[in-house]
Amino acid sequence: MNRLCIAALLTIPLGLLPQATPPGKSSASIHEKQATLLAVVKDWAFEAGYTGGWPSATPPHVPVELLAVVTASGNWIDPTLRCREEDNAGCKEFLEQYLNRAKDYTVLTLPGRGSTVHVEPVDKLDDCYDFWSTGTLSSGNTGDAAIASDHLALFDTSPAWQNASRSEIAIVRAGLLGLGPKKVKEFDGVQVRKIQIEGQMYFVAERHSTTHRRYGIVFSIGRIEQGRFDLVRWNDEGGEDGDTVESALGVIRLKNGREFLITTESDPEGQTFYAYGIRNGHLQIVFQGGGSSC
């Protein structure tokens, strides 16, 4: 297991570890409808922890990366495993199915839902297994990042991010400033947003090295209960001088009502994606995979 995977696992509370299908694998029926997901990143500056060499792009062109495959029922599949596991035949099949042909994807997340991203083919992979390409955005404002899919029929309208109120920010601030030995010593530059996931309101607090490097990187997810911030996810691998960055990309909603918050985590050695979903009434990591690594 590489350093990235070990670091990621150390930041996940035990209650959040998936208890069913292993990350990247799937118990989905072969007859179940599936959709390929794509990360669309107009401004990759907040991913400064990853130095693997994302392509530069001038609008309307945007950097894009294969994220995962999700089924109609909400099972997740990591198609890149066939290349990572050095399965030459499987990797060739993966390239032909997902990367070697031009393809159109539709943006799922707000803002920008309904915009089309035309993706150019990738002929081969480099030594770091960078599953990215360049896309052309048809129109609209997708914000800094968005999620797109090649099968719009499986999805419903995604919930929108909301700005937290002053009173909510104060509660989140009090909760973060009181954390363990690695406290958030300053709250300057921390952005607090909220979003509803399957009827539950979650708050995401982020601060990236590009904005306030001297204060350290922050990524947390939690809920406000009875006037206090209850932490669900606290990724402190960035620390005060660290270089690991986790960033929220967006929330998708399937037609069956399942909703997932998608994030990406990166450091100088690689990058991966997470999907958070509701299991047994609680937000948990249900997928980890994709991305790039050396």
* Contact present, 119 and 64 (Cβ < 8 Å): yes
* Mean pLDDT for the stretch of residues 136-142: 79
Tokens 């990235």, located at residue? 4
Q: How confident is the model at residue 273 (pLDDT cuts 50, 70, 90)?
A: very high
* Summary mean pLDDT of the chain: 77
User: For 35-79, what is each residue's pLDDT tens digit?
Assistant: 999 998 765 544 444 434 455 667 788 888 889 999 999 999 988
Q: Distance of alpha carbon 29 from its chain centroid, rounded?
A: 25
- Name the region of 195 (left: φ>0; alpha: ψ -120 to 50; beta: rest): beta
Q: Which residues contact 260 (CB under 8 A, 6 or more apart)?
A: 70, 74, 197, 251, 252, 275, 276, 277, 286, 287
Tokens of residue 24, six digits = 């990247």
Residue 199 pLDDT: 94
User: For 249-265, what is each residue's pLDDT tens digit?
Assistant: 999 999 999 999 999 88
Residue 285 pLDDT greater than 60, yes or no? yes
Give percent of the chain with pLDDT exceeding 70: 70
Domain count of the fold of the chain: 1
Residue 95 pLDDT greater than 80, yes or no? no
Tokens of residue 10, six digits = 């150390």
Closest CA to 254 of 278, 224, 227: 278
d(CA 111, CA 122): 27
* Mean pLDDT for the stretch of residues 123-132: 64
Residue 239 pLDDT greater than 50, yes or no? no
- The top-scoring range by mean pLDDT among 14-28, 199-213, 221-235 is 221-235
- The top-scoring range by mean pLDDT among 178-187, 255-264, 282-291 is 255-264
Residue 210 pLDDT: 54
* Mean pLDDT for the stretch of residues 95-118: 86
Residue 204 pLDDT greater than 80, yes or no? yes
* Domain, as residue range, for 8: 3-293
